[in-house]
Structures are given as C-alpha cells and as structure tokens.
Structure 1
Amino acid sequence: MRVRIGTAGWSIPSIHAAAFPAEGTHLERYAARFDAVEINSSFYRPHRVTTYRRWAASVRDDFRFAVKIPRRISHELRLVDCGDTLDRFVAEASGLGDKLGVLLLQLPPSLAFDAKVLSAFLALCRTTTQVPIACEPRHPSWFTGAADRLLADRRVARVAADPAPAKGAGEPGGWPGLVYLRLHGSPVMYRSAYGEAELDRHAALLRCHGGWCIFDNTAAMAATGDALDLQARLASPERRAGPVV
C-alpha cells in the first residue's frame, strides 16, 4: 500500500526551491523531498551504466526510479525483434541496483493490441529482468477484457493516464499488484496544473490502492507543485475521507 509520488525528471523550479534543501545536486535535493522519479531521457538516448550507478548513489535507500523503455523498442521496432536492444537497455539500467523500481513501457497511439506480439515481448522481458513493468498503451483496442487479462497474467500493470487517450485509460488495469498513475496535465497536456478536485480524486485512489503517481506536466513547471500538493493531501488527516471516483 505504499504511495510513491514524484515527477518526470528531477528539475526543481525556482518557485518551489524553498521546499528543498539548498545544498547538493538537483537529484540529491529532489530526493530529500520525494521518494520516486521517472527517467524519461532513456526513451530518447542510452545512458552508461556508470551514470545509473551515480544516480543510485545520490539518493537514500528507500528511493526508487522508474525508467522508460527506449522508443527504439516501443515505437520503431514495435515490440518485435528487439532482443539485443532490450538486453542493452536492461544492462544499463541495472546500474540502479535495488533502486530500479519500475520499467515503463509507453506505446505509440498507432500500436493496436496483438496478443501474440505482446506475449512474445513480455516473455522476452522476463528472460532479461524481473523488475515490475507498467505499460501505457494508447490505442483503444488495449482497453478490453482480453488485453487486461493478458497483462494481469503476465504481472504487468496498465498505467492510469490523464488525460485518458481512450475510454478506460484513466483507470488502473492489468496486474493489480502495481498501480501507476501518469498525470500529463489537463486541460493542456504537459503544461496545465491540476485543480483541487483532480488532486483529491487521485489522492483517494492512492489511499485505497497505494502505488506510484508521476506528474509529467513539466513543460510549464507545474509538476513539482502538483506533486508537493498531492503529497500534502495524503499526509493530512482531515483529507483521508472520501470515495474513489
């Protein structure tokens, strides 16, 4: 039932600097306040294993990283014939050691659910790593009972995304052992901050199920403020009541 709250990347906007220690690297300061972060840069380019080791050494023992699987695998090869690329990525990210908490697989909106392709890819993943996987599909065909059952059988969580790209995408699915919220900002993706009603709704879900909540509305520096606000809501006794809606 543990809740982990963080942002995509560990930038600290000046408007929120007072909430963090004044000394240390950006990651060290960030990790003094939050216990999770999502590494999105791995989607675009590889990082050396020594870089991952340095990041792991910069944070406390209970801090965890989510690392985004490269777009070469998800968007270019579309989960097919990607064994060598996957092996390299996992070997690099393993530099995080026990602080590697989740692998994030974000799929392109054009990639429809294909049980054969998904089964083969997830089997390949499990020959390489046992790290939990959170999948963020965006094609409507993924939000069906068949896709959900296959993900659950393979112990893969389906991301709850906001804004939801299809009906059902805003709720967690797949394997219930991991809940992973990715909040991209609404009404303007990547830019808008969340209002009180939205944050209350997400807080209620996390109280009931635990899990990760990552704010990806970083373009206008809204993510850090939202993460701090949600953190405060979950810590406040007077806000512990209320249904999940």
Structure 2
Amino acid sequence: MSGTAFVGTSGWRYPRWRGDFYPGGLVQRRELEYLAERLPSVELNGSFYSLQRPESYRRWRDSVPEDFVFAVKGSRYVTHMLRLTNVGVALANFFASGVLALGSTLGPILWQLPERVEFDPEVLDAFLDSLPRTTGSALALAREHDARLNGRAWLDIESDVPLRYAIEPRSESFRDPHAVEILRAHGVALVLADTAGRWPAFDAVTTDHVYVRLHGSTELYASGYTSAELDTWADRVRQWRDGTGEDGMPRDVYVYFDNDARGRAPHDAVALDARLR
C-alpha cells in the first residue's frame, strides 16, 4: 500500500496569477474553486497573520471537492511573539477561530518558526506536548478561548479524528539530533524547505507523513523550477509515498510551492502533480 501525495500552493489569492494561471474575467471568489479543480491541496496561510472567522473556513470548504485537503498555517502569534512558550490561550483561540469547520478537508497544521527561535529541547518538547492530537481534544481546547472569540467561535466537529502537525525551523540549531528525537517522539513532521540556500534544509523524516515547502531553488519566493528539478522532486516524493526509501514505510506527502512572486507557484505545482499521477 502506498501513501498519497498532496501537491498545492501556499495560498491562492495573488494578483500576479490573474490573467495568467487564472483566466481573465474569473471573479476572485471563484479562484479557490478553480485551483481546486487542478490541484488536490492548498496551504491556507491567512491563518498565520491573523485569526480567521468560521464563515471564511466554511466558505473555503464549500469551494472545494470533498477529497481536497487544506494545510493550515498556525498563528505567528504562537511562533513569533510567544516563541512557543505559554501558548495555552493562543492555541485555544486558534482552534476556536474556525479551523475545525474545515471538517474532513482539514489536513496538517504547519508551525513556521522565525530564524531567531533556536532549538531549546525543553521548549520544543513542551510545545509539542501541548498540541491536541485529535479534533476532539482540539475542540476541548477551543472551548477555553478568551473573550476575543466570544460570539465568533466555532465549537463543533463532525467526528473525532487524528490531527497532523509539521514544524518548519529556520535556525541551524535544529540540526541537533535531539530535535529530531523530540519530533519523532511526538509524531510531528520536520519540514523540508527549499529556500535557495537562505535557511537550512532539514531532510530527516520524523513521522508517518512528510511536509515539503518549495520557496524557490535559486531565488527565494521568485524562481521557478526547471523540468529537471521537478523530475528530481517527483522522484523524492515517490520514494516517500511508495515506501521505497531506507525504512520501507509508505507515507503521505504534502508539497507546497511558495515561489509566488512571479506567479510560478501554481504552474510548478500542476507540473509536479502531473508527474506524480
């Protein structure tokens, strides 16, 4: 049995894509629907900048097929301001904001760390331990939201199912083997990020899924991927998906292109997805 590869883009609302990836005249509210007809997944990144509203999550879910998958980027308040410490209320607010309204389309939750957050074993272990492991436990945590979410919280789930997480460090200190041990102990994926050499590329596989973010191979957020580069990434994804790597374990693989500055992301994502099909 093989895993499944979910290829998509980091976000979908970019003016540069209009009249290029998106056909001229396509109304903005249908852009996600158009993307979801061509790709199996997308990384929802507005949740990184601010708490979204339940009606937004419901609208996004209603715009995609039932088997579509949203990866959700965790709040930067947790990662950049609190730096993974004393995060109880912030996590409650995040899960109460509507994330659970995605229902069966909810995929992994990504925590992107700033470069200044270095590896601290106690901090990392405590943070990962605080993450709810199922939608049921996430709902219980969401009920502890503070007054900011009064009247706008989503406190409902369709079923109690496992949650997946990925963490994207940008400090070389996470090269420490102890960091990998902690991630494996908690079943959290260590993101493999291609950042044109700007930040470290960690390639340790730490759980039953792999999370890849492609920010550009030669120019951060801007450069496209050549046909040869896409072939190489397709081979790597197949190894993880089909279990032909060292441990022989098939894994689900999530790959998101973030090289959107010149509109390359959706084209590269469609090209990689085609190779994997």
TM over 0.5: yes
Supply the distance in 2 between the matched residues of 1:54 and 1:105 (Cα, whole angstroms): 23
Separation in structure 1 between the aligned mates of residue 198 and residue 177 of structure 2, nearest angstrom: 17
Provide the rounded CA distance (Å) in 2 between the counterparts of 1:165 and 1:120.
28
Letter matched to residue 76 of structure 1: M
Report the equivalent of 2:173. 141
CA distance in 2, matches of 1:166, 1:187: 13
Aligned to 1:126, the other structure's residue is in SS state coil
> 2:258 maps to what in 1?
216
Q: Which whole-Å CA distance do the structure 1 matches of 2:101 and 2:20 have between them? A: 32
Distance 1:109 1:153 in 2: 23
Deviations 1:68-118 (A, max 9, x none): 111110011000011111111112211111211010000011111111111
Alignment match, 1:239: none
Q: Where does the alignment leave 5 or more consecutive residues of structure 1 unmatched?
A: 236-245
For each residue in 1:151-185, what CA deviation from the matched residue of structure 2 results, as whole angstroms up to 9, or x when unmatched? 01100000010025555x2424322x011110001
Asked whether the 8 Å contact 2:180–2:206 carries over to 1, the reply is yes
Distance 1:155 1:165, change over 3 A: farther
Find the partner of 1:191 among 197, 203, 222.
222
Take 1:145 and 1:195, find their aligned partners in 2: how far apart are those partners?
Answer: 33
Identical counterparts, % of pairs: 40
Contact 1:172–1:181, Cα closer than 8 Å, also in 2 = no
State TM-score, norm by structure 1: 0.88
Query: What corresponds to 2:122 in structure 1?
Result: 116
- Specify which structure has the bigger relative contact order, considering alpha-carbon pairs within 8 angstroms and separated by 6 or more residues: 2
What are the Cα deviations for residues 41-72 of structure 1, in whole angstroms up to 9, with x where unaligned?
11111111121111111111110101111111
Distance 1:183 1:66 in 2: 15
- Which 4+ residue blocks in structure 1 deviate beyond 4 angstroms? 164-167
The 3 A distance-change label for structure 1 pair 172 and 14 is farther
Query: Over aligned residue pairs, what C-alpha RMSD do you find?
Result: 2.0
Matched, 1:226 2:275: no
Q: Normalising by the residue count of structure 2, what TM-score does the alignment of the two structures yield?
A: 0.78
